[in-house]
Amino acid sequence: MNLQPADKLWEAVAAALKNELPFVVFSPPESTRVTGYFQKDGKLVKANDDHSSGFLFAPFSEDYPVVLIPSDSIVHAEIGDLTPPESTKDQVQDIIGEDNTRKKHITLLSEALRSLKSGKLDKVVLSRKLLIPRSERDIISVFKGLLSRYPTAFRYLWHHPEVGTWVGATPETLVKIEEGMLETMSLAGTQPYRGSMDVSWGPKEKEEQAMVTRSILNRLYPHCLHVQAGDTRTVKAGKLLHLLTPVKAVLTSQELPLEEIVAALHPTPAVCGLPRKKAKKFILEHEGYDRKYYTGYLGPLSKQGSAELYVNLRCMEITDEAFSIYVGGGITKDSDPDAEWEETVNKSKTMLAVL
Ligand SMILES: C=C(O[C@@H]1C=C(C(=O)O)C=C[C@H]1O)C(=O)O
């Protein structure tokens, strides 16, 4: 691997943004390296358009294309230590607490609780979008903020002139496949990090996360052998804690198309709900806004059939006018709407911290 100086990478990103060319730069969890894939033209390449390698970017629902950024030119750079940029978080506190947004979300949660209590749904993940007026903060420094603040997340900056610009620092793996081996995770349950990882979890969080684990295992059985869930543990993502159960399996065939595995898993009950179809219908009919690529998935694919895909969470879309931060949480019949609202406020701080 030919490592370039970090400045070369940032120059390439600035040039691609200026020339309206598609690109993605990303850094896997715990890595101090950033890889950039730069497309030579501005075409919209859809997944399966003759490309078996590149970077996949897929939406939550089917209304948007699954885009592939081919790796026409690749830049790897060592980033090393980055000083977190100053945060202007306090200035946007008012926007988060805005009363009608809160009311609207609480009404949505109460509606969902009726369906959950009547037994029509077991779990549904409901989300919302915060619009923050675009500040002077430029896109590259937003991404640098994510790199330095969230070293354990998969951090990315993605741009396609026909689709948009997204950044994120996601803690959640959708699926990793290498040489016939598969890894995924069940990640759910949230509480703020208050200085200790030694915390207790209530029955609502434990059951909500166990539902996700059971569903993932059931969805893998038809395609895999030796499906195994590891021990459930508490993990830290920014200023939040989650429950995580690692899952491993062996694919029944190395020839198994990636689309089949992805279709089995996406959208997981960590971002959609259970039963899947009913929860998705509830989301599309009631959420009242468009998730676009939030809770979709993204990541690099290689010609050798390996893939490293993450769920698009703790992310935002950047337009000329605004930063749109997307946040959500899992609701079960035992949810308390006020606590669920607070959870989305806490989740929004991951992105607010870099603005
Ligand atoms: C939906 C989000 O996060 C997901 C929902 C969680 C929950 O309900 O506790 C926890 C982690 C993620 O799987 C989000 O960050 O927007």
Residue type, 256: L
Atom of ligand 1 nearest to the CA of 347: 15
Q: Which of 136-140, 162-166, 245-249 has the lowest mean pLDDT?
A: 136-140
Q: What is the pLDDT of residues 58-90, one digit of tens each?
A: 999 999 999 999 988 999 999 877 766 555 554
Could you tell me the pTM of the whole model?
0.95
Query: For ligand 1, is residue 190 a contact (CB within 6 Å)?
Result: yes
Give nearest CA residue, ligand 1 atom 1: 328
* Domain assignment of residue 101, yes or no: no
Could you give the percent of the chain with pLDDT greater than 90? 86
- Rounded CA-CA distance 156/312 in Å is 10
Round the CA-based radius of gyration of the chain to a whole number and report it.
Answer: 20
187 CA: nearest ligand 1 atom: 13
- Which residue has its alpha carbon closest to ligand 1 atom 9? 189
Using the CB atoms, write b or e for 63-91: b if 16+ within 10 Å. ebbbbbbbbeeebebebeebeebebeeee
pLDDT one-digit tens code per residue, 260-284? 999 999 999 999 999 999 999 999 9
What's the number of domains the chain is made of? 1
The mean of the pLDDT values for the chain is 93
115, part of any domain:
yes
Q: What is the pLDDT of residue 218?
A: 98
Q: Which residue has the least CA distance to atom 11 on ligand 1? A: 188
Q: Is the CB of 292 under 6 A from ligand 1?
A: no
| 130 within some domain | yes
- Cβ neighbours for 101, distance < 8 A, ≥ 6 positions apart: 128, 130
pLDDT above 90: residue 304? no
Atom of ligand 1 nearest to the CA of 271: 1
Question: Looking at residue 98, what is its pLDDT?
Answer: 58
The closest residue, in CA terms, to atom 5 on ligand 1 is: 329
Mean pLDDT of 78-104: 64
Tens of pLDDT along 208-233? 999 999 999 999 999 999 999 999 99
pLDDT range class, residue 91, cuts 50, 70, 90: very low
Q: What is the domain-level CATH number for residue 38?
A: 3.60.120.10
Q: Within a domain: residue 92?
A: no
Q: Is 316 inside a domain boundary? A: yes
Q: Residue 62: give the domain boundaries.
A: 3-87+107-352
Probe residue for ligand 1, chosen from 125, 232, 243 as the CB with the greatest number of ligand atoms within 8 Å: 125
* Residue 96 reports pLDDT greater than 70: no
Q: Do strands 233-237 and 240-251 pair parallel, antiparallel, or not at all (unpaired)? A: antiparallel
Residue 98 is assigned to a structural domain of this protein? no
The pLDDT, as a whole number, for residue 49 is: 62
The verdict on residue 330 lying in a domain is yes
Please check whether residue 240 lies inside any domain of the structure.
yes
Q: Which of 330, 303, 176, 327 is nearest to 247 (CA)?
A: 176
Regarding the beta carbon of 187 and ligand 1, being less than 6 Å apart is answered yes
pLDDT at 79: 87
Query: Which atom number of ligand 1 is nearest to the Cα of residue 189?
Result: 9
